[in-house]
Amino acid sequence: MEPIDFVIIWVDGNDKKWREEKSKYDGNIKGASDSEVRYRDWDNLKYWFRGVEQFAPWVNKIHFVTWGHLPEWLNTENPKLHIVNHKDYIPSKYLPTFSSHTIELNLHRIDGLAEQFVYFNDDMFITAPTKPEDFFKNGVPLDTFALDCICFQSDSAGFFNGADVTVINDHFSKDESFKRDFGKWFNPKNRFKNIVRTVLLMPWHWFPGFYYQHTPNSFLKSTFETVWSEEPETLDKTCCDKFRKEGNVNQWVMKFWQLAAGNFVVRKDSFATCYHLKEYNYETLLRDIPSKKHSMICINDTAETLDFETKKEGVKNAFEKLLPTKCSFEK
């Protein structure tokens, strides 16, 4: 089987030098795209590495993407670890950047990155045993498919999804995709609720949007290369912005491209889940982490995450129950 790499991006929101650099450019940038919620530290990154070592020991290489700061505890001598600075792979015309979109859209430029890779934000974790076949099968990414409507709210990713889907509709026919991939669209692994979504949105002859889990994504490097080749102006315009803003596309354009092209194998929707951390689901999260209920999870910080310090300690304690043993990525 061809090698599979992991890519994770990380920012230390407490780094004084990073904050000083950011303050030179942020000006009057306000709102969800630049709130403290996006940068505050849950102090649980070591459990990401422990989860990878215990539950995905088969990974070929981990590309750890950072502005330049590193956790004090990280063992940078681990042979599987590749430290990647933004300047190592992002074209200089886009630097410095404080936009996750720019950081993500250029991942294919990382030196030595495998054709098959799984992309993680630093709030996404592996919490149960996995196999390479959970992410790629015969060189094809695994994913869940469903059509969906785009939600436009000030604190949502709707504006980015809208830009992504505009690109998709310019390049793909929904009717042709449906005929070609009927069995994928209506595969039971997608779950009944997702199939219902797709059925209800079938009358329209364009893609209204795609269901997406805020969880790790399986990508082909060649997908990024194709989209850059087909939409250079769109991606360049996004990457020229120092911060995220309306009109940007994001890494989901790559995911949606793979889905619209039929370049995916259906995976059970329950394989991964996202907890948008709020009061009502906090206790559920604390139970689910040590239970290995899902193979992958995302713990998405929100403005509705109250009593942050207490929540942070609770999550760390739950991870400690699941992954108490220091791994080779720690000093």
CATH number at residue 72: 3.90.550.10
Q: Tokens for 83, please give them.
A: 């430290």
Identify whether 37 is part of a domain: yes
Cβ 6 vs Cβ 124: under 8 Å: no
CB within 8 A of 43, min separation 6: which ones? Answer: 312, 316
- Give the end-to-end CA distance of the chain in Å, rounded to a whole number: 31
Per the structure, the complete domain to which residue 102 belongs is given by 4-143+215-322
25, part of any domain? yes
User: Is 123 among the domain residues?
Assistant: yes
The SS3 assignment for 243 reads coil
In a domain, 255, yes or no: yes
**Sheet harboring 265-266: ordered strands across?**
136-137, 140-143, 265-266
Q: How far apart are CA 55 and CA 49, in angstroms?
A: 10
The order of strands in the sheet holding 4-10 is 81-85, 62-66, 4-10, 116-120, 217-220
Number of domains in the chain: 1
What are the C-alpha distances in Å from 81 to residues 8, 46, 71, 240, 313? Answer: 11, 14, 13, 29, 27
Task: Using the structure block, give the residue that is written with the tokens 């495998």.
Answer: 114
**How far apart, in whole angstroms, are the C-alpha atoms of residue 107 and residue 109?**
5
Strands 116-120 vs 4-10: parallel, antiparallel or unpaired: parallel
* CA 211/CA 165 separation, integer angstroms: 11
pLDDT per residue of the chain (331 residues) written in tens, 0 to 9: 799 999 999 998 888 899 899 988 886 554 444 455 556 788 899 999 999 999 999 999 999 999 999 999 999 999 999 999 999 999 999 999 999 999 999 999 999 999 999 999 999 999 999 999 999 999 999 999 999 998 887 766 778 999 999 999 999 999 999 999 999 999 999 999 999 999 999 999 999 999 988 899 999 999 999 999 999 999 999 999 999 998 999 999 999 999 999 999 999 999 999 998 876 788 999 999 999 999 999 998 877 777 888 889 999 999 999 999 999 999 9
Q: Is residue 280 part of a domain?
A: yes
Integer Cα distance of 240 and 248 in angstroms: 10
- 4 CB neighbour count, 10 Å cutoff: 20
The phi and psi torsions of 251 (rounded to 5 degrees) equal -65, -15
- Strand, helix or coil for residue 121: coil
What stretch of H or E contains 292? none
The answer to whether 106 and 213 have CB atoms below 8 angstroms apart is no
pTM: 0.94
Between CA 24 and CA 47 the distance in angstroms is 33
Long-range contacts, stretch 57-61, CB < 8 angstroms, 24+ apart = 58/4, 58/131, 58/132, 59/4, 59/5, 59/6, 60/3, 60/4, 60/5, 60/114, 61/3, 61/5, 61/6, 61/112, 61/114
Residue 32 pLDDT = 45
Closest to 116 in 3D by CA, of 270, 6, 32, 241? 6
Is residue 39 in some structural domain? yes
Residue 205 lies in a domain: no
